[in-house]
Amino acid sequence: MATTVTTDTDVKAWGGGTEPMRISYGKMMMWFFIVSDALTFSGFLAAYGFSRFKFIETWPLADEVFTHFPFMHGVPAPMYYVALMTFILIFSSVTMVLAVDAGHNMDKKKVTFYMFLTIIGGMIFVGSQAWEWKNFIKGEYGAVETKGGSILQFVDKSGKRVALEAFAADIPTERVQDTKSTGIWFYGEGSIPTYSVEEVVEGFKANDNLLVRTEVINPKTKKKTTLSREESLKRMDGTKYVVEGANLIRNEYGAKLFANFFFFITGFHGFHVFSGVMINILIFFNVILGTYQKRGSYEMVEKVGLYWHFVDLVWVFVFTFFYLV
What is the per-residue pLDDT across 168-216, written as a single tens digit (0 to 9) for each? Answer: 988 876 666 655 565 554 454 556 788 899 999 999 999 999 999 999 9
Rounded percentage of the chain residues whose pLDDT exceeds 90: 66
Residue 90 CB contacts under 8 Å (≥ 6 apart), including other chains = 312, 316
Instruction: Tell me the C-alpha distance between 179 and 157, whole Å.
Output: 38
The DSSP annotation for 138-189 comes to H-SS-EEEETTS-EEEEEETTS-B--GGGT------------GGGT-TT---
At the second CATH level, the architecture of 24-139+258-324 is Up-down Bundle (1.20)
> Mean pLDDT, to the nearest integer, of 135-139?
92
46 by Cβ neighbours in 10 Å (0-12 / 13-18 / 19+) ranks as: exposed
Give pTM, 2 decimals. 0.85
Question: Is residue 116 very low, low, confident or very high in pLDDT (cuts 50, 70, 90)?
Answer: very high
pLDDT beyond 70 at 20: no
pLDDT tens-digit readout, 68-88: 888 887 777 888 999 999 999
DSSP 63: H
Contact 324, 82 (CB under 8 A): no
- 189 vs 33, more confident: 33
The boundaries of every CATH 1.20.120.80 domain in the chain are 24-139+258-324
Distance between CA atoms of residues 309 and 192, nearest Å: 43
Spell out the residues 6+ positions from residue 57 whose beta carbon is closer than 8 angstroms to its own: 216, 217
- At residue 267 the predicted structure's pLDDT band, cuts being 50, 70 and 90, is very high
